[in-house]
Structure 1
Amino acid sequence: MKTKFFANAILGAGLCCAQVLASGLKSSDIEGFAAPESVFVDSSFIYVSNIGAKPEPLAKDGDGFISKLDKNGNFIERAFIENLNASKGMARLDDRLFVVDIDTLYAFDVRSKKQALKLPINGAVFLNDIAVLDSDTLLISDTGTGIIHKINLANNAIEEFYKLDMSEFGGGNGLAIDKKNNALIIAGYHPDGASGGKVMRLNLASKKLETLLDTKGAYDGVAVLENGDVLVSSWGENLQGVIYRINNGKVSALELPFMQGPADFFVDKNTLYIPKMLENKVQKVELK
């Protein structure tokens, strides 16, 4: 996600404007968010983290929240979890929904909504996304420092797993596990908003880093498809955001209209949920 942007007004709530794009992809927008940054989907529900009415991703202003929707895109609770600051990446383990918020990792019980964990990460400045390594371990990106933190949930121990050279790669933004290659895919974004980042693959065993997309950009969300292709979002030039597909070194853009602020998206089987932060919408796209 970006650190500098202009927000549009909230345009209502609920599923709107279903259409078939020229590419043949079916698309619709879900409206009613407040700077949506991340989407997580489980078997029954859609969760969307919102930075808040004041779209300031590093402000501890208490107006961040998580929305809960059904799989049809209807709000169940717009503010399912409240009183966060600038909530971003999410993950779920059992009944715990994890979310990062500037410098702290939280977990909430998805049934009772009660806080199950509050874990400040010393030195963190811009926590952004979460990848689940196993049932006891999370990897968390800090875009502001370039550090990938490793969290042991059994004892809440925190360690530095890897540190990116930010001048070369940017800070880690979106994270995704590549099981086939035992690797972590990292979408790089430089917090100065100008230098740009790259898309990388980090071997989880050797910690060897390789570049998947060398062209510098404002990369945000990332996902690995079942066939091994990597999808990554870019804020693009002049807020003309795109979703790229990386397939064996070949890069192509999905045939979608330009979007403003495509952030930490989620792939649920053949459905792509893209939070369009600057439009206060989540775009739902049926992939072929």
Structure 2
Amino acid sequence: MIKYLCLSVMILLGLNLNAQHKLEKLWETDSIINMPESVLADTKAGVLYVAIMGNSADAKDGIGGIGKLDMSGKVINLDWVTGLNSPKGMGIYKNRLYVADVTDVVVIDIARAKVELTIPVAGSGFLNDLTISDKGIVYVSDSKTKKIHRIINDKDEVYMENIDGLNGLKAVGDQLFIAGGGKNLLKADASKSMVKIAGLPQGGDGIEPIGNGDWLFSAWGGYIYYVYADGRNELLLDTHLQKINTADIGYDPAKKVVYIPTFFKKSVIAYQLK
């Protein structure tokens, strides 16, 4: 009996080990991207959009912009759109790319590679992440004022307030997922009722759904976590000792590839999620 019990325990341990997720590095660009803060994967177009802040995370200096890479990390054009300030979170709806840019949301006509509209976000101080619902509603986080703004028909309004540690956002259906409330992954429904999904060791930057109820959660200091729907988490990547930041990640759910902007290291790194 003891022999069989030990064998059963070993099998269970083996299954648990096999269940652990991991990241395997695929490629890294040269260190030629001036403070990349966010990566957005447009898998239909085969393009990675990179928000390039320039020399500062909050300066209105006009030297920021949006660059383009292909899905293998080859540079298409790092000056695809220029003249922005310190751009961060991005989202695509129809033929427009929306970008959080300090106190404005910049709207870019993708086909023309031109800024077609700048939407001032009233009372904002440090717009950070941005997400767009399938109905075209834009949500943008303000880490300084602890508010989430909502933009409908190019008009902004305050949507939620008083969220400590606010950063990453992701709209999924009529739900809004939030990195905030300290070091948590939160979920708000259409009535703004908010529940905690998971507590993490670090405050969040980028959040991306895996597609099965689980999540990827990046922390700027150099950490990537796999977060299960039941609140458990696994540390997938720790680069803080190498001083490689892990800012607002992008994700290709079909190929399970994670794209990491390294901020001060001036590169984008791709990892295969396994």
User: Normalization by structure 2: what TM-score?
Assistant: 0.83
Ranges in structure 2 where 5+ consecutive residues have no aligned partner: 1-21
Change (3 A) 1:149 1:45: same
Structure ranking higher in helix proportion: 2
2:165 paired with 1:183: no
Ranges in structure 1 where 5+ consecutive residues have no aligned partner: 1-22, 190-196
Q: How many residues align?
A: 245
What residue number does 1:260 align with? Answer: 244
Q: Where do 1:38-117 residues align within 5 Å?
A: 38-42=38-42, 43=44, 44-52=46-54, 54=55, 56-117=56-117
Of all paired residues, the percent bearing the same amino acid is 33
- 8 Å CA contact 1:150–1:161 kept in 2: the answer is yes
Shift in Å, 1:277? 0.6
What residue number does 2:14 align with? Answer: none
Change (3 A) 1:225 1:30: same
Q: Where do 1:164-183 residues align within 5 Å?
A: 164-166=162-164, 170=165, 172-179=166-173, 182-183=174-175
Structure ranking higher in strand proportion: 1
- 8 Å CA contact 1:177–1:224 kept in 2: the answer is no
Shift in Å, 1:83? 0.8
- 8 Å CA contact 1:68–1:78 kept in 2: the answer is yes
- Give the Cα separation in 1 of the matches to 2:138 and 2:123: 18
Shift in Å, 1:255? 4.5
- Give the Cα separation in 1 of the matches to 2:180 and 2:260: 18
What residue number does 1:142 align with? Answer: 142
C-alpha offsets along residues 182-213 of structure 1, whole Å, 9 cap, x if unaligned? 42221138xxxxxxx32232322231222233
Q: Where do 1:106-255 residues align within 5 Å?
A: 106-153=106-153, 156-166=154-164, 170=165, 172-179=166-173, 182-188=174-180, 197-215=182-200, 217-236=202-221, 241-247=222-228, 248-255=230-237
Change (3 A) 1:24 1:278: closer
| Letter paired with 1:160 | V
C-alpha offsets along residues 201-260 of structure 1, whole Å, 9 cap, x if unaligned? 232223122223335633211111111111111134xxxx11011111111111465462
2:265 paired with 1:279: yes
Change (3 A) 1:215 1:78: closer
Shift in Å, 1:37? 0.4
Change (3 A) 1:215 1:286: closer
- 8 Å CA contact 2:29–2:269 kept in 1: the answer is yes
- 8 Å CA contact 2:52–2:65 kept in 1: the answer is yes
- Give the Cα separation in 1 of the matches to 2:85 and 2:23: 39
| Letter paired with 1:264 | D
Shift in Å, 1:63? 1.1
Shift in Å, 1:24? 6.9
Aligned to 2:117, what secondary structure does the other structure show? strand
User: Normalization by structure 1: what TM-score?
Assistant: 0.80
Root-mean-square deviation over aligned CA pairs: 1.9
Change (3 A) 1:119 1:24: closer
Change (3 A) 1:95 1:165: closer
Residues 205-214 or 127-136, more deviating: 205-214
Aligned to 1:57, what secondary structure does the other structure show? coil
Change (3 A) 1:142 1:255: closer
| Letter paired with 1:138 | V
- Give the Cα separation in 1 of the matches to 2:105 and 2:23: 40
